Amino acid sequence: MQSGSACATNTGSAPSPLSPREWQQQQEDEGAISAHSARCDGVRKAIMMPLDGPFIGRTSWLLRQFRKQIWVRAAMFSLAAVATAVLAAIAEPLIPYDFNLTLAAGSVGNILDILASSMLAVTTFSLSVMVSAYSAAAANVTPRSTKLLLSDSVAQNTLATFIGSFLFSIVGIIGLAAGFYSDKGRIILFGATLAVLLIIAGTLLRWIEQLGKFGRVGDTIKRVEEATTAPAGQWGNRPRLGARPWTMIPYGASEVMCPDVGYVRHIDMAALAEIAADASVTIHIDVIAGSFVHAARPVAYVSPPAHDDCAARIAKCITIGADREYDQDPRFGLIVLSEIASRALSPAVNDPGTAIEVIGAGLRVMLAYGDARSEAQEPCFEGLHAHDLAARDLFDDFFNPIARDGAALVEVQMRLQFALEALARNDPALYEDCARSHAALALERAGKAGMFVHDLDRLKTRAAWAAAPPEE
């Protein structure tokens, strides 16, 4: 085995003493792994909800993507604010009591004037902060992470609240100037204004807390890790997204093509199963989320051969787009994490600490996938066959770029060997072969990158586990 030959010369060497920094890193890693099971409890609960997991339909998925757009929430808040200001004038006949709050009703105009002027300035400032955060993430982290910042609920709620408050105050000022509000209507408008002020105060406090981390490297790594852990757990709990294992394509099966060119963003497994049951056919899905397709590449095979209408229905169940999505594509999340590490390891940045943090995030994602695999459920779609998520692809996507770009840095290579050994020991059946192979490749890269002899000897000692015989 290649990994064994790469490390065989170090099997009998005695471990060298760890430096204080390496000892501290090892203690942090061991603590992170020991707490991993507790962190995965929430993931397991999430992946047990089929309608919110891999089985979400195409329409629901498109609606979810629509709701993630930053202008949608702002438009909804704005409409609600305008409706509130208008209802203050319409609802006054419904109040039978005559409130003697002349002072409060008279001051509502001044309050609305202050709101209108201040909310416009605060909205402009918040937009500039968000644009700066997006630009910083694209320049310092990776452009593939900006979509997670764009869909941040705190930022969207903040912008929507400020724009909605501005429109509420403008409509209220216009209504007061036009005489739309009676005395009771002014009291209602005053109460609504107080409620808006409370909402603004709470939003500002939350936004101030968010500004300290929004768009920073550590915050972006955490967002990518969370966005990757959920689909990884879903793939582990439902291998092949509920389809049966891949088998040889029957002779004479018809091909299903998609005319679009791009990445598979979503596969509606429930709709495909319904088509297979209605047409009494078996569908072999030859792509997974993240696959790049074009007009000449079959996305599925149907046996017995299906008519054109059936093939068109199958093609509509596979959503193609120019960009990849995190929802059903854990490989994409690992690629984004490796891009963050590669950017940090570039000569212009030279930040091995960020690469070490990324390795820890990728380790947690893969452990979550392995934990979910241990509780994998039986296939639930009898008429579908699909490919599984290959562990070797996960390793190639994540570890190869980091091992290449950090080949000459002993601290990165030591942490890389630790992560590979942790995966091999936590789930030998799933990860051990890939972990040993990548450990040997990383050690070989370090040797050819001109690493200092003393550092290389320490790394060989750390990587000796890959050459040792597997535990029985």
Output the pLDDT for position 21. Answer: 52
Output the pLDDT for position 28. Answer: 53
Q: Do residues 443 and 9 make contact, with C-beta atoms less than 8 angstroms apart?
A: no
The Cα–Cα gap between 123 and 116 comes to: 11
Type of residue at 138: A
Q: Do residues 421 and 29 make contact, with C-beta atoms less than 8 angstroms apart?
A: no
The Cα–Cα gap between 180 and 69 comes to: 35
Give the position of tokens 């605060």: 122
The Cα–Cα gap between 417 and 409 comes to: 12
Output the pLDDT for position 187. Answer: 80
Output the pLDDT for position 15. Answer: 41
The Cα–Cα gap between 370 and 376 comes to: 10
At 267 the three-state DSSP class reads strand
The Cα–Cα gap between 229 and 423 comes to: 15
Q: What confidence tens digit (pLDDT) does each residue in 101-143 have?
A: 554 556 788 888 888 889 988 888 888 888 888 888 888 888 8
The Cα–Cα gap between 186 and 109 comes to: 9
Helices 153-178 and 70-90 cross at an angle (nearest 10°) of: 30
Output the pLDDT for position 308. Answer: 81
The Cα–Cα gap between 234 and 54 comes to: 6
At 282 the three-state DSSP class reads strand
Output the pLDDT for position 269. Answer: 92
Q: What confidence tens digit (pLDDT) does each residue in 326-343 have?
A: 989 999 999 999 999 999
- Residue spans of the chain under pLDDT 70: 1-55, 92-106, 471-472
Q: Do residues 3 and 437 make contact, with C-beta atoms less than 8 angstroms apart?
A: yes
The Cα–Cα gap between 207 and 205 comes to: 5
Output the pLDDT for position 467. Answer: 84
Q: Rg of the chain over CA atoms, in angstroms?
A: 28
Going by the DSSP 8-state scheme, the letter that residue 215 receives in this structure is T
Helices 153-178 and 102-140 cross at an angle (nearest 10°) of: 150
Output the pLDDT for position 85. Answer: 84
Output the pLDDT for position 8. Answer: 34
Output the pLDDT for position 267. Answer: 94
Q: Which residues contact 344 (CB under 8 A, 6 or more apart)?
A: 217, 351, 352, 353, 354, 355, 358
- Give me the count of residues in the chain: 472
The Cα–Cα gap between 336 and 88 comes to: 49
